[in-house]
Structure formats: structure tokens, C-alpha cells
């Protein structure tokens, strides 16, 4: 048990465990010390100097994010010296910052902008040479604008320490220092996996998704196009945050109505193809268990994880499930079955995927996810992009009564909803696999694979056989799991991996929350709770009991794994250079 430390912060008595930093201790007294470079579990380097405080009896200022508390310490967070130092630091940061706030994607949601307001900053106090950098838009999913970078290094730390990708880092020194990729090559030419975690960690607008909004508006306005949207499970759990609603608010029906108000469009439920993924994936797992195909089988619904594997572990590609992601399956389903049923030429069907992830923007460009040069999904947009479309259309989102998804892709199971949380794909697959093998529907909740821990393990007895499974979220944790498997330390049959820590609810395309929320709130758990609640309250909780699955297999696919299903719903992978 840790020793407890007693101190005062602004004359308020505080008691915290030994090893707690001043910044963390202040929060327990409802005092938020500002910071720019600090981000819990990501970056703690004391570099920005915005979080400085005074300690009574000591000279100078200390960075509260790295300074541990001491017994009897007296801390002052708002003295004239502290405020003057913070103000000067922020003004110096702004002296080289490209201040195009009116057109910035982070306008009104920028941590630097908020600090400038809070401290009544003169943004032009220090005028001098302002470096000009070429904007890197070489990747189809993320744009890097170093003209707005403040050198907090949150993105670098996220990419290197959390995701272990290392696609970006600091280049050069002194006034010329900036964040970039090796040899100044474009991000699109590196082994970046497109997870977008750098975007949600950035406090300003130096990183953002490559937008497809204008293309969608053009398609909606084109009388020759039939436009359909489908939304991923986690979007309903997070979209409300873009409109000032509390974290953990389910806005599914408002979301559907808002999209329908954008124009003459149909809105479908991607949970349907989450169920379809389980049908195919559970069948594939059972087939692997009966054959000599490689085990463990890894899930394949996360495109960030797939690209990570292609770059770093090409020898494991045979272990990946051949199932397309729910996005990939829905695109193929719409451009085949749906077009045939509705006499639509596939080239005239414009498919928009609303996703929590920037990596799915890359996935839409994969040649194997197209037919005769026609992409299965035309564009994928993030939660943030959808919110901008809704705001731009003048829709009063919070006041909407709500609407239902459109048929024939409206009904889905609670198991499909779980795809947005780490462990959700595993739980959905185990439900169906257990039923198919044991012939019982008794086991519905697999609690050991729930929660936001980076690595979760469990052993279940199915049909008298012990099945070892593992769930990992965050690519650093994925690397640990792979190394344990390759060393022989662990022996699993089935492994779920999500690129983003906590799963899709914490994806790189989700609403950007400030450090004051991310540092002190269980963001991932609150968002995931929406999905677990939807599952628990739903009438359908098993993917194979979804009547839409019965319709699709009876009318089109025949059975999981059959020729047509395999042709449209499965894919292959490509080894890539590691750079």
C-alpha cells in the first residue's frame, strides 16, 4: 500500500498517494492546472512549461506534470509570477504558430486557442520569422500541417510509445526543429497505419483527417446518383459529443434523422454487416479448427491492425481471418445484392461509410475492395466530418426527435453493436461459435473479454474443449501479444486486435476531447457503456438470429463460406515494406 502524502494547493489541504504529481494532486482539489504537452498514458515530458507552479520556500517555477508531491509541500498555482510565465510562454508559442483560426478544423475546440483566451494573450507580442512548411497530404487519410505544430510531441509519443509504429519524429534542431517522417518523405510513403491516434492526441490543428465532405455534397446534388449512408456501431455513442452532449450519450435516432435531412439519401445500419462478419468469421474459425490451417486466427475487421501486420509481421498474414471488415462487406453487399434488387447500376450508387476511424479511409482505396474499377465504398467519413456536415446544413441536432434506419438493412443484433468496443468482436464471435458447436443459447455474456485493459485473456470450455482467447487494443499491446505467441509463451486459438486503445469508441476519427477530459475521465469506458447497454436492452443478442442474416443467406449467399459469400465477403492481404 502506497504511503499517503499531505500537502496544500492554494491553501486547500490535499492527501494523495506517494508518487502523484502536483498536476494530478491539484485535480483532487478541483483545480485544473493548464498544460499542452502532458497527456495521460501518452506524454509526460514537462516540455511546454505551461503547467508551471510555485512551491512555497523554493526559488523558481516547476513543471507540475512531472514534479512529484512531497510531505508538507505548499503549492501555489495562480501567483503573479506563475501567470506571467504562462502568458509569456503561450505568446512565444504563438509567435511561430500559423494563426488561421477561422478556417482551422479545430476552431473553437483548440487547446491553444482556449489558453490564449483564458490568459488574455496578445498573439502578436513577439513578432519574428515565421517558418513556412509544405503541408503533407500524401496519405489518403490524414493531413499534417507543421505550420500549426507547437512541438508538444503528443503525436510523436503516441505513434512511438503507444502504437510502436514510429512513422513520425522530431527532425533537425533549434529553430528548424519540426515533426516529420524519415528523410522528409511524405507520411503516405511510410509504414504509417492510418490509425489517427496522432490526430486525437494533437491539442491544435496540426493534424486532421483528409476530408471527403465536398464529394458527398456533390453526389447528393447529382440527380444521376443514388446516395446511401451506413454508420458504424460506435458513431451513435460519440456523435453527441460534437454537439455539447455528455460523453456516453446514445444519439442513434437523432443521428439517423440528421443524415436523412442532408438530402434524398438512405441510411443503413452497419451493425448488420457486423453480424454478417460474425457469421463468416465464426464459420471460418470452426473450419480452421477442423483443418490444418494456421492458428491462432486473428480478427480482420480493423484496417489499422491489418496494415500494421502487412508492414511488420507479413509472416502472420495467413493467420488473419479472410473476412472483410464490416465496412468492406457492406460496400460489396450494396454494390451487388442491393443494386440487383433495386435495378441500380453499381456505378450510380454512391456509398458513404460513417466510421470512427481514419484507417478506413485507406481501406476504401484498397484495389481488392472494388469490382471492375468501381470501389465498394466510395468514401468513408469520420464522426467529426459527419458533425461538420450536420452543422453546415443548419440542423438543430439536439432538438431532433429521431428516426429509424432504412430497410432492408435496419435490424441488427446487440452482438453487432459490440464491435465498437475492445473485446466486442471476440464476444460476438464466441456467442455464435458456442451456439453452433454446443447447440445452446445459454452463454450470452463473456465478461472476461470486456473492459478497457490493453490485453485481456480468457479460457472458455466449448463442446468440452478449452478455448484460449486473447484481446488486444492499441498496436503496442498487439506487438506484445504477437511476441508472446511467436516465443511460445502463449497458445491461443483466437485473437482479437484493434489498432486504437479501447477499440473503435476511441478511434482516430472520433470527437477530439481536450486534455482536461482525457486526463481525468474514463472516456473509453463511458463511450463503450453505450454499446453494452444497447446490447443488453435489445431483443436480438446473437448475430445468427438476426432475420436479415436469414434473408441474405436464403436469397443470395446460400451459407457462410460458400462460393458467392467467399467471393464477395472475403479478401486477401499484401506484404508491405517496413519504413
pLDDT of 37 > 80? The answer is yes
Return the higher-pLDDT residue of 524 and 122: 524
| Mean confidence (pLDDT) of the chain | 94
My answer on whether 481 and 505 are in the same domain is yes
As for how many domains the chain has, the answer is: 3
Residue 320 lies in a domain: yes
Dihedral angle computed from the Cα positions of residues 143, 145, 151 and 153, in that order, rounded to the nearest 10 degrees: 0
For residue range 532-571, list pLDDT tens digits in order: 999 999 889 999 999 999 999 999 999 999 999 999 999 9
pLDDT range class, residue 463, cuts 50, 70, 90: low
Residue 556 lies in a domain: yes
My answer on whether 164 and 191 are in the same domain is yes
Query: In sequence order, which residues have a C-beta less than 8 Å from that of residue 513 and are 6 or more positions away?
Result: 200, 241, 247, 521, 523
Average pLDDT for residues 440-466, to the nearest whole number?
83
Residue 507 lies in a domain: yes
Closest CA to 59 of 81, 29, 32: 81
Residues recognised as catalytic: 281, 284, 301, 321, 360, 363, 368, 504
My answer on whether 30 and 85 are in the same domain is yes
My answer on whether 90 and 124 are in the same domain is no
Identify whether the C-beta of residue 378 lies closer than 8 Å to the C-beta of residue 363: no
Residue 521 lies in a domain: yes
pLDDT of 438 > 90? The answer is no
My answer on whether 425 and 505 are in the same domain is yes
Q: Check whether the bond before 457 is cis (ω within 30° of 0).
A: no
My answer on whether 184 and 278 are in the same domain is no
For residue range 230-273, list pLDDT tens digits in order: 999 999 999 999 999 999 999 999 999 999 999 999 999 999 99
The residue range of the domain holding 74 is: 4-94
Average pLDDT for residues 190-199, to the nearest whole number?
97
How far is the CA of 246 from the CAs of 37, 319, 465, 507, 514, in angstroms?
25, 40, 44, 18, 14
Average pLDDT for residues 330-335, to the nearest whole number?
97
Cβ burial of 408 (10 Å; 0-12, 13-18, 19+) is middle
**Cα 210 to Cα 190: distance, rounded to the nearest angstrom:** 17
Residue 574 lies in a domain: no
My answer on whether 80 and 186 are in the same domain is no
Return the higher-pLDDT residue of 548 and 128: 548
CATH number at residue 127: 3.30.70.20
Question: Which pLDDT value is given to residue 577?
Answer: 85
**Domain endpoint, select from 209, 239, 257:** 209
My answer on whether 237 and 194 are in the same domain is no
**Cα 136 to Cα 199: distance, rounded to the nearest angstrom:** 14
**Domain endpoint, select from 152, 185, 209:** 209
pLDDT of 429 > 80? The answer is yes
Residue 575 lies in a domain: no
Residue 156 lies in a domain: yes
Closest CA to 353 of 509, 483, 566, 560: 509
Pairing of strands 494-498, 297-298: parallel
CATH number at residue 350: 3.40.950.10
Question: Which pLDDT value is given to residue 517?
Answer: 92
For residue range 370-420, list pLDDT tens digits in order: 988 899 999 999 999 999 999 999 999 999 999 999 999 999 999 999 999
My answer on whether 295 and 324 are in the same domain is yes
Question: Which pLDDT value is given to residue 441?
Answer: 56
**Domain endpoint, select from 174, 209, 244:** 209
pLDDT range class, residue 286, cuts 50, 70, 90: confident
**With pLDDT > 70 as the criterion, what percentage of the chain qualifies?**
98
Residue 300 lies in a domain: yes
My answer on whether 12 and 141 are in the same domain is no
Would you call 341 helix, strand, or coil by DSSP? helix
My answer on whether 325 and 419 are in the same domain is yes
Identify whether the C-beta of residue 234 lies closer than 8 Å to the C-beta of residue 356: yes
pLDDT of 494 > 70? The answer is yes
My answer on whether 444 and 516 are in the same domain is yes
Question: Which pLDDT value is given to residue 442?
Answer: 61
Average pLDDT for residues 468-493, to the nearest whole number?
97
Q: Residue 217 is placed in which grid cell?
A: 455534397
Identify whether the C-beta of residue 344 lies closer than 8 Å to the C-beta of residue 336: no
Amino acid at each position: 500500500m502506497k504511503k499517503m502524502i499531505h500537502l496544500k494547493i492554494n491553501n486547500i489541504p490535499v492527501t494523495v498517494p506517494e508518487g502523484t504529481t502536483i498536476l494530478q494532486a491539484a485535480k483532487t482539489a478541483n483545480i485544473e492546472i493548464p498544460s499542452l504537452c502532458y497527456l495521460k498514458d501518452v506524454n509526460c515530458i514537462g516540455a511546454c512549461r505551461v503547467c508551471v507552479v510555485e512551491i512555497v520556500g523554493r526559488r523558481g517555477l516547476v513543471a507540475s506534470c512531472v514534479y512529484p508531491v512531497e510531505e508538507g509541500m505548499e503549492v501555489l498555482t495562480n501567483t503573479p509570477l506563475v501567470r506571467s510565465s504562462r502568458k509569456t510562454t503561450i505568446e512565444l508559442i504563438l509567435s511561430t504558430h500559423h494563426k488561421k483560426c477561422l478556417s482551422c478544423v479545430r476552431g473553437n475546440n483548440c487547446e491553444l486557442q482556449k489558453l490564449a483566451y483564458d490568459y488574455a494573450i496578445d498573439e502578436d507580442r513577439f513578432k519574428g520569422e515565421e517558418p513556412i512548411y509544405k503541408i503533407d497530404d500524401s496519405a489518403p487519410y490524414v493531413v499534417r500541417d507543421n505550420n500549426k505544430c507547437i512541438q508538444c510531441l503528443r503525436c510523436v509519443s503516441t505513434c512511438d510509445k503507444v502504437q510502436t509504429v514510429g512513422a513520425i519524429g522530431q527532425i533537425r534542431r533549434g529553430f528548424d526543429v519540426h515533426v516529420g517522417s524519415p528523410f522528409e518523405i511524405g507520411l503516405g510513403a511510410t509504414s504509417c497505419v492510418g490509425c489517427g491516434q496522432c490526430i486525437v492526441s494533437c491539442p491544435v490543428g496540426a493534424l486532421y483527417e483528409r476530408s471527403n465532405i465536398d464529394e458527398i455534397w456533390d453526389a447528393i446534388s447529382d440527380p444521376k446518383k443514388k446516395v446511401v449512408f451506413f454508420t458504424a456501431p460506435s458513431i451513435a455513442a460519440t456523435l453527441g459529443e460534437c454537439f455539447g452532449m455528455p460523453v456516453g450519450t446514445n444519439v442513434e435516432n437523432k443521428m439517423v434523422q440528421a443524415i436523412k435531412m442532408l438530402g434524398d439519401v438512405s441510411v443503413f445500419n452497419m451493425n448488420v454487416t457486423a453480424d454478417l462478419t460474425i457469421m463468416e468469421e465464426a464459420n471460418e474459425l470452426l473450419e480452421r479448427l477442423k483443418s490444418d490451417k494456421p492458428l491462432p486466427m486473428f480478427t480482420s475487421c480493423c484496417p489499422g491492425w491489418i496494415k500494421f501486420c502487412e508492414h511488420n509481421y507479413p509472416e502472420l498474414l495467413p493467420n488473419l481471418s479472410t473476412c472483410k471488415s464490416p465496412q468492406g462487406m457492406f460496400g460489396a453487399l450494396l454494390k451487388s445484392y442491393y443494386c440487383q434488387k433495386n435495378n441500380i447500376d453499381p456505378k450510380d450508387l454512391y456509398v458513404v461509410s460513417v466510421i470512427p476511424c481514419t484507417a478506413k479511409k485507406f481501406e476504401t482505396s484498397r484495389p481488392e475492395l472494388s469490382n471492375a474499377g468501381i470501389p465498394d465504398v466510395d468514401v468513408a467519413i469520420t464522426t467529426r466530418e459527419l458533425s461538420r456536415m450536420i452543422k453546415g446544413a443548419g440542423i438543430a441536432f439536439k432538438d431532433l426527435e429521431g428516426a429509424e434506419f432504412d430497410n432492408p438493412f435496419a435490424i441488427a443484433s446487440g452482438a453487432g453493436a459490440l464491435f465498437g468496443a475492445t473485446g466486442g468482436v471476440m464476444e460476438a464471435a464466441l456467442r455464435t461459435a458456442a451456439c453452433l458447436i454446443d447447440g445452446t443459447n445459454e452463454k450470452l455474456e463473456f465478461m472476461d473479454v470486456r473492459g478497457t485493459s490493453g490485453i485481456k485473456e480468457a479460457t472458455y470450455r466449448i463442446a468440452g474443449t478449452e478455448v484460449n482467447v486473447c484481446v488486444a487494443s492499441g498496436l503496442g499491446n498487439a506487438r506484445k501479444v504477437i511476441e508472446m505467441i511467436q516465443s511460445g509463451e502463449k497458445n491461443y486459438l483466437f485473437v482479437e486486435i484493434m489498432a486504437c486503445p479501447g477499440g473503435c469508441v476511441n478511434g482516430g476519427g472520433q470527437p477530439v476531447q481536450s486534455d482536461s477530459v482525457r486526463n481525468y475521465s474514463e472516456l473509453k469506458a463511458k463511450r463503450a457503456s453505450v454499446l453494452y447497454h444497447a446490447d443488453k436492452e435489445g431483443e436480438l443478442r446473437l448475430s445468427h438470429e438476426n432475420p436479415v442474416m436469414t434473408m441474405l443467406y436464403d436469397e443470395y449467399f446460400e451459407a457462410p463460406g460458400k462460393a458467392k459469400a467467399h467471393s464477395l465477403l472475403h479478401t486477401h492481404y499484401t506484404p508491405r515494406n517496413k519504413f
